[in-house]
Structure formats: structure tokens, C-alpha cells
Chains A and B, each alone.
Chain A
Amino acid sequence: MNFPILSSLVLLPTIGALFLLFSKDRNSNTGKYVALFTSFVNFLISIYLWYLFDPSTSTFQFVENREWLKGFVNYKVGIDGISILFIILTTLITPLCIISVNNTIKVRLRDFLIAILIMESLMIGVFCSLDLVVFYLFFEAGLIPMFLIIGIWGGERRVYSAFKFFLYTLLGSVLMLVAIISIYWIAGTTDIVQLYELGIDTKYQNLLWLAFFSSFAVKTPMWPVHTWLPDAHVEAPTAGSVLLAAILLKMAGYGFIRFSLGLFPVASELFTPLVYSLSLIAIIYASLVALMQEDMKKLIAYSSVAHMGFVTLGIFTITQQGIEGSIIQMISHGLVSAALFLCVGVVYDRMHSRLINTYGGLVSVMPKYSILFMLFTLAALGLPGTSGFLGEFLILMGAFKDNFLVAVIASFGVIFGAAYMLWLYRRVVFGNLVNKDLLKIPDLDNSEKFILWSLAIPVLFFGFYPEPLINTIEVSVNDLIEMYNFNLNMFGPEVKK
């Protein structure tokens, strides 16, 4: 495979963005079609990539290796079973975001599309980079477009939220940069594949792990550094919230699997209790907080914190089920939370309110909307038959294997999840139609239907038939765990597994 397919995936949206940048008119629809076209082509390429992808091996495929910073860093990209799913998630969500700008973005449409496209490039870059510095570059560069998306097109407290988002994430990441450079001096390379083979000296692992953790914990977000997320979600425009929830949060989960487990097995083993406790706190605390929210977006934001708590929990069970469950949970949460934010966006565009008590009785006005909203609500609480179930189930299974108590506490999170989601749904959709303004609003239009159905289909499909997902990740996860245990036995005999 000589054609640099991954680089073209990364570059294509940027080229689209450049094209938009040099186009003259700032608000016309042509820009939208260009953006839609590029991101859709990107989606097709990524599907084709999945088709070409060989799931029977965990070695990295489609690898490109170019000299970049001479004698220091190579530009190296490649994918395995874990990363390909995230790339497809990214390329699926982006065109939907672009369609959704129809009703939400009224000013400076072109600039918004440019930001979204550049964001797509960077997100794909994060998931396919095989070098720590390249990873860091993509990871950090994503802050710029997101900062602008929240700050320019956001709600009332957009400035505060944008700053909080940027500074929190940056603060977490700079320590990771120190760690990355240290790894270069300790191991002599920042190439992940080589680092997997070489391993990193045990005596440095704990500090390095903590440095990476500081970055990923902020991004995940884990309790207690999750506070930027509700603010950012609430103030960001719909498309921005969707990108944040569906993909940006997944970068951290991906990072945990790829770097924390892959590079620092001894430290991961040591810090598992820490991650467990923080995850459990996140699950329980965020669920309880979500119950009390009056703002729909904030509720979904807190539910994201809880769901990501499940993800981190699953990852650090270091069992086949747990990690597979986490990956599926991330994909599923990417689809479902995106859909939920879009659902909120739909009614927000009509009523300009995100408060739950504005609504009630929507079912009689917007029946189609209510059906789809219900589907996603049920997927979010993990009803069997939706993709959400599979992820949570596998995570809990992995957790039971590892630690009974942890699993029991986490199971409460599932119940709370059902509680806040169903209560939200009841208050918004059922009940008496009190607010007379609601009578005037139309049901879903075609583009909204299209967006929500394109998310609903995979949610249902993978709920009933998760085989393609499992097949893709199985070997990679299995080998990751084998490598983990091997390294653990090699370098950390005093720690028992």
C-alpha cells in the first residue's frame, strides 16, 4: 500500500478549509456544500479504509514514516483495530455537524465551516499518529479551532467557557509534553511502535504515567477536573458540543489505552486503584448532579462525565471484556451523545431555551422528534438492543472479573443513568403541554431527520449486531493485553496481577 491514505484523510479536510478560506463570499451556501462534500468524501475514504483493514493482526497498518524533525521525530502514522473505529466515528460525525449548521449558525458561516474542517483534520491526526510528538501536536492544535468555535458562536458565557476549556486542557497537556521529551531522552525515541518493543525503564514509569494522566484526566474529563466540560458544552453551539462530546472526549480514552497501558504497564498497575476510585466518583457523583440539572445540555454534559467514568473504569480493568467494552462504549457514546446534543439543538433552535421546564408535552407537537429522542434516551441508559448496552455490559463484566465491589458500585451508575435520562425524557416529551408557544413549532425537517437517522441506524445496528466492531478490535486489544502482561512480568515482578 503505497498511497498515503492516512495522510490524505488528515489533509483532505484542511484542503477543503483552505479552499473555503480563499473563496470570496462569507455567508453563501456554496461554502457549505464544499465543506459537506469534503467531509463526505473523507467519510467514504474511511469506510474504504475499514474495508481494506485487516483485523486479523495487531500490527499497525497503512504505516507512513517520513523524516520530519531531523534526528528527533519522524512523522509516523498508522492504524490498528483500536484507532480505525475512532477515525470512522470522526468522519461520520463531522458531515452531520456540517449539515446541522443550517439552523444554528447565523453569522460567519464560512469561518465556522473552516474551523470544523480543521478540527476534523486534527482529530483524525490524533487517532492515527504513531509518534508521541506528532500525537501531542494534533492533540494540542485542536484547542485552537475549538476555542474559536466556543468563543465566537457560543452562548452568553462563551468567553468564560472558552477560556476555561483552553486553559484547563493546556495546563494538563504541558506536563505531558515534559513527559514526552523525557521519554525521548530515556528511551531514545518517541516512536510508539519502537517504544512498545523497548519498554520504558520501570523507575521512571510512575512519574511519566502521572504526567500523561494529568492531560488525559482533564480531557476525559475525570472528577475533579471535569468542571470545564459542563461550561463548554452548555455554551458551545450545537455542532461544537457534538464534536466535543462525540470525539474530543474520546481522545483521552484512546490515549489511556494507547499510551498509559501500552507504555507504562507497571505504573498502570500501580495506579489502577486511583483510576477506579476517580471513575466511581465520576459515575456516581456526575449521575447525581445530572439528576438535579434544569438545563438539558448541562444534564447531557454530566451524563457524559458519568459515561466516560465507565470508560476509564473499563480500560483499567485490563481485561479483554473491559477494554473492548470501553472502546464500544466510547463509540456508542460518541453516536448517542452527539445525537442527544443534536436533539437538544433541534428544540433550542425553535424555542431558544435549553431549560427543561420550558418544554413538556412535546409528544403531541413533535411526534417524530419524540420517537428519535426516545431511541437515543434509551441508548444512553444502555437498553439492550442499542449499542449503549453492549459497552456498559462488557465494562461491568470486566469489572466483576477484576474487583467485585467496584463493579457493584458501578452498577448503581447504570440505575442512576436510567433515572436521569428517563426523567429528562418525561419532563420534556410527556406531560401536559403547558407552554402555549410550543404549539407553533414544527416537527423535524428533512435535514434534521437525516442527521438523527444517520446516527440512529448505527446505534440500533451495532446494538443488535456488534460483530463488526468486536471483530475489528478483538485482536488488537488481545495483543495489547498480552503485551501488557508480558511487560509486567518482565519489569515489575513485585507487583502481582
Chain B
Amino acid sequence: MNNLNLISPEIFISLSIMFLLILGVFKKKSSSLIHNLSIGLLLITGILTLNNPVDSPGALFGNSYLIDNLSSLMKILTIVGGAFVLSISTKYLKISKIFLIEYPILILCSILGMMVMISSNDLMVFYIGLELQSLALYVLASFNRDQLKSSESGLKYFVLSALSSGLLLYGCSLIYGFSGSTNFDIIGSSMDSMHYGLTFGIVFILVGLAFKISAVPFHMWAPDVYEGSPTSVTLFFAIVPKVAALTVFIRFLYVPFFNMIDQWQPIVIFLSIASMIFGAVAAIGQKNLKRLVAYSSIGHIGYVLAGLSVGTNEGIQSSIVYISIYMVMNLGLFSCLLMMKRNDQYFETIDDLSGLSKNHPVLSLSLLVILFSLAGIPPLAGFFAKLYVFKSVIEQSMYFLAIVGLLSTVIAAFYYLRIIKVIYFDEEREKYDTDHSAWLKISLALSTLLIFLYFIFPSKLVEIVSRINII
């Protein structure tokens, strides 16, 4: 029974989901209640996760489920991200007339899936978690089912994601076939290396994972899905699933296949460079902010992968630092997006930001901070994220990757500057509403302050992350 303590967060969140479902069925007009309850339950799950004794890594179910520093941190990130998404989306959902009980429950389901993914130490467990979160995400993408774009994005995401899951599963079967086990530890120890079958297996799984984090060339779904989904779901897409997929990436590459680093490193470097360049170049022509965020997140994933391709603990840590800061930045950006509302209608193109600084100085200042941070200009948090990644990249003398990455930040700076130009240099338009919910204001203020003041205490996050030693 002692062991079960370790997965108490997962157990608790599963029970919560069932409880909320039943409550939703029997109690009429309970959307608001369920929404608030789900936030509370999510926070309790977070506390339970924090409570886990992380100093001694625990393994469960025949070593197929791991609770360690990595899993705890990533779960906390996922849960906090999910809680923020839920809390700032209430008003948007109400106005879009999709304030239904299924929304928070689906988000909880996908968070459960992600938690399973994060802790998985076994291909089967990992796949189950992945499917659980994906299924919930398909529905969420098409949640605004009366809108054509939303349904389209859901369908698109479903078809492409199913394809990638197929590839991934095929990779799993290859690896099982050539190593005799699905458990990461056993694969690692019993591996007669250099077998082509295993390499193929790794490639297929990498393709599937790259799809989930929308790395180039498996990014095609991202812009359409980001644009079509309801904004709050886009926010969820942009920040939360990437954390889980990144964790699997780390575990999968560094636990069983660390010896085959020569085989997978070029692939990850390629994914990284392609994502950085493509994310920077393709975003230039975009007019829709959500679409732009999709391309920018492709670019940012490139930097995360750059840290991951290094093959050292520092590299992994820098990726985790990067994704955490990236989460905060995107949270702030979407808080701003959710504030662009006039007469119960939301606006989401860049032109709608025109002259925002004259009517909404505080909002524009926050956007300014967030956008410069996304561009990686010091002294904002985004700069430190890049600094750590490139520090670990250059340690291994991977200068080409570093220079390409930094040059693509210059290209990327262009489109962030373009948004700032629209906000600050262009003519003003009609005012937006200012009756935002308190949560929205809090999340915007919090993320802006975190980004802006990060340089005062830059070591805190790194200290937490530096406890994660996979290799």
C-alpha cells in the first residue's frame, strides 16, 4: 500500500473526473460549479504531487511507472498550466456559448493522460497515457462544434494524430521485437546495440513524438488546429501537452537509448534546426495571432530540442528551463488575446492590435514585455532560457546549431517587432472592453512580472531543475 501513495495524485484526479461526470449528469445547470470544482481538484492534485517523496525515486507496477524529480516537476508544470487555462477561460467560454460541463472534465482527462505519460517508464504505459490525452484533445479542438473552423481543426488533428500514433505504435512494436521488452530499463540493458531494427524503431517513435510537439517537418497540423480551436483550447495546446511530450522525449532518448546517441542525435538536431528556421520564417507572413503563435511555438520547440540534442544533463535541464519559461510567456500572451474583446466578440488578428498602447497602456506594456521576451531580448526571461540552452549546446562544441539558432532568433525578432510596431506605432482603433475576470488579470500580471523580474533571481528555477539528473 505504501507504494500506492506515490500515485495518489493520479488516483485522486481519476476519482475527481468520475465524480465530476456524475455530478454533471445529475445536477442541472452545474457548469459553473463543475468549472470551479475542477480548478480546486486540480490544485489538490498539485499539492498531492508536491507531497510525493521525490528524494528517493520510486518505481511501480513492475518498474513501468516512475516517480522521480523529473516526473514531479513536469507534473506540477502540467497541473499549474491546466489550472491557469481553466481559470482564465471561463468568460471566453461563456461568451462563445460553449460553457459546458465537458470542458473542464476533458481537460482533467487529458491532464491525467499527460501525468501517465510523464511517469511512464514503459512503452505500453506511455502509449496509454498518450492516447488518453490525445482523445481528450481531439474533442477539445472541435469543442466549438457550431463553428466550421473548430470542427475542421478537430477532425484534422484527429486524422493526423491517429496517423502519427500508428507510426509510434509501429516503432514500439519494432523495439519490442528487437529487444524483447517494452520496459525502458530492460531495453537499455538487454540491447544488442547497432541493430538496424532498433534504429528504425527509434526513428518511428521520434516521428510520433515530433508530431505531438509539432516539430518540423511534422508540424503541418499545428497552424490550422491552433487557429480553429477555441482560444482557450489553443492556449492549452500551446503549453501543456508539450511538457508531457518533452518528458517522454527525454526519458525515451536518455534512458534506454542513451548508448545509441550517435544514431538519434543527428535526427534531433535536424528537427531542431528545421523547427527554428521554419518557425521563424513562416511566421513572418501571418496575420492571425493564433496562427502566428502556432509558428512561434514551432520555433520555440526548436530551441527546446536543441537543448535536448546535446546529450548531457545540462542540456536536458536547459530544455526544461526553456519549456517552463515558454509556458509562462505563452500564458501571458494568451491572457492578452483573451482580453481583446469588444461587445462580446473576440478579435484575433494582428491588425486588431493597432494603436493598442493609446487606449490600453497597461495591456500593451505587458504585451511589450512578453513579446520582447519571446524574441529573446535581455534582460527578460526569454533571454535566459536561450542563454541556458546555448550554454549547454556550445559546451559540446555544437557551434553550427548554436549559430543557426541564434540567427533564427534574429529572423524571429522581426515578426515579434512587427506586432510591437502595430501596438505602439500605428493609429489607434476603438477601445476594447475592460471588464475582464480577476483571474485573467492575475494571470497576465503574474506572467508579466515573472518574465520581467526573472533577472533578479535567475538562479531559482535553475536550482530546482538542476535536481533532475537522468544520465
B395 at the interface (CB under 8 A from A): yes
A375 proximal to B (CB < 8 A)? no
Nearest B-chain residue to A21, judged by Cβ: B365
Which of A181-189, A302-310, A387-395 makes up part of the contact surface?
A: A181-189
What chain A residues lie within 8 Å of B377 (beta carbons)? 140-141, 143-144, 170
B455 on the A face (CB < 8 A): yes
Bits for A319-339, please: 1 = Cβ < 8 Å to B, else 0.
Answer: 000000000000000000000
Please tell me which stretch of A54-62, A89-97, A159-167, A419-427 contacts chain B, meaning at least 4 of its Cβ atoms lie within 8 angstroms of it. Answer: A159-167
List 15 extra interface pairs beyond A68-B459, A69-B458, CB under 8 A: A69-B384, A137-B379, A137-B383, A151-B421, A151-B425, A152-B425, A162-B425, A163-B417, A171-B407, A171-B410, A174-B406, A174-B409, A177-B390, A178-B390, A181-B402
Q: By the criterion CB–CB under 8 Å, are A69 and B394 in contact?
A: no
11 A-B pairs with CB atoms under 8 Å apart are A69-B384, A72-B391, A136-B378, A151-B421, A151-B424, A170-B377, A171-B407, A174-B410, A178-B394, A181-B402, A185-B394
Q: Does A158 contact B (CB under 8 A)?
A: yes
Which residues of chain B have a CB within 8 Å of any CB of chain A? Answer: 361, 372, 377-379, 383-384, 387, 390-391, 394-395, 399, 402-403, 406-407, 409-410, 413-414, 417, 420-421, 424-425, 455, 458-459, 462-463
Nearest chain B residue, comparing its CB with the CB of A186: B394
Chain A residues near B378 (CB-CB < 8 A):
136-137, 140-141
> Do residues A141 and B379 form an inter-chain contact, with CB atoms below 8 A?
yes
**Known contacts A140-B377, A166-B417, A181 near B424 by CB under 8 Å:** no
Other-chain residue from B390, B407, B459 in contact with A181 (beta carbon distance below 8 A): B390
Cα separation A70 to B460 with both chains bound (whole Å): 9
Q: Is residue A99 within 8 Å, beta carbon to beta carbon, of the partner chain? A: no
Q: Are A184 and B406 in contact (CB under 8 A)?
A: no
Tell me, yes or no, whether A175 is within 8 Å of chain B by CB. yes
Chain B CB within 8 A of A148 CB: yes
- Find out whether the CB atom of B425 lies under 8 angstroms from the CB atom of A158: yes
On whether the beta carbons of A178 and B459 are closer than 8 Å, the reply is no
A174: nearest chain-B partner, CB-CB: B406
Report chain B residues within 8 Å CB of A67. Answer: 459
Confirm or deny: A43 has a beta carbon within 8 angstroms of a beta carbon on chain B. no
Interface of A (DSSP majority class): helix
Pair B421/A185 contact, Cβ less than 8 Å = no
Given A137-B379, A170-B413, does the pair A159, B425 have CB atoms closer than 8 Å? yes
Known contacts A163-B421, A166-B413, A181-B394, A70 near B462 by CB under 8 Å: yes
| Residues from chain B with Cβ under 8 Å of A174 in the complex | 406-407, 409-410
User: B425, A167: Cβ atoms under 8 Å?
Assistant: no
From B372, B399, B410, contact of A178 by CB (8 A) = B399
Asked whether any CB of chain B lies closer than 8 Å to the CB of A147, the reply is yes
Q: Which residue of B lies closest to A148 (CB)?
A: B424
Residue of A nearest to B406 (CB): A174
Complex: chain A residue closest to B407, CB-CB? A174
Determine whether A451 belongs to the interface, using a CB cutoff of 8 Å to chain B: no
Which of chain B's residues have a CB closer than 8 A to the CB of A137? 378-379, 383, 455
B384 proximity list for chain A (CB < 8 A): 69
Chain A interface residue count, CB cutoff 8 Å, equals 33
User: For B459, what are the chain A residues with a Cβ–Cβ distance below 8 Å?
Assistant: 67-70
10 A-B pairs closest in CB distance: A174-B406, A70-B459, A137-B378, A181-B394, A140-B378, A151-B425, A171-B410, A141-B378, A170-B410, A141-B379
Q: Complex formed: what's the CA distance from A162 to B424 in Å?
A: 12
| Contacting pair A147 B417 (CB below 8 A) | yes
Determine if A167 and B413 form an interchain contact, defined as CB atoms under 8 angstroms apart: yes
CB distance from B357 to the nearest CB of A (A): 8
Contacts of A143 in B (CB 8 A): 377
* Least Cβ–Cβ distance between A139 and chain B, in angstroms: 8
A133 within 8 A of B: yes
- The chain B residue sitting closest to A140, CB to CB, is B378
By the criterion CB–CB under 8 Å, are A178 and B424 in contact? Answer: no
> Beta-carbon contacts of A359-377 to B below 8 Å, as 1s and 0s?
0000000000000000000
Chain B residue at minimum C-beta to C-beta distance from A158: B425
Q: Which of B372, B378, B379, B458 is most buried by chain A, counting CB atoms within 10 A of its CB?
A: B378
- Which of A26, A67, A181, A184 is most buried by chain B, counting CB atoms within 10 A of its CB? A181
Inter-chain CA distance A276–B334, complex, in Å, is: 51
Complex CA gap A25/B258 in Å reads: 60
Cα distance A181–B405 when bound, in Å? 14
Given contacts A175-B403, A178-B403, A182-B394, contact A159 B414 (CB under 8 A): no
Complex interface: chain B residues within 8 A of A167 (CB): 410, 413-414, 417
| Inter-chain contacts of B455 with A (CB < 8 A) | 137
Please name all residues of chain B whose beta carbon is closer than 8 Å to the beta carbon of A141 when the two chains form the complex.
Answer: 377-379
Instruction: Give Cα distance in the complex from A174 to B378, angstroms.
Output: 12
B395 adjacent to A185 (CB under 8 Å):
yes
Question: A151 vs B425: C-alpha distance in the bound complex, in angstroms?
Answer: 6
Residues of B within 8 Å of A133, CB to CB, are 387
Q: Which of B361, B377, B463 has the most CB of A within 10 A?
A: B377
Q: How far is the CA of A140 from the CA of B390 in the complex (A)?
A: 17
Inter-chain contacts of B390 with A (CB < 8 A): 177-178, 181
Shortest CB-to-CB span from A438 to chain B, Å, is 32
Give the docked Cα–Cα distance between A359 and B416 (Å).
41
Contacts of A68 in B (CB 8 A): 458-459
Expressed in whole angstroms, the minimum distance between the Cβ of B335 and any Cβ of chain A is 20
Which B residues are CB-close (under 8 A) to A171?
407, 410
Question: Once bound together, how far apart are the Cα atoms of A136 and B384, in whole Å?
Answer: 12
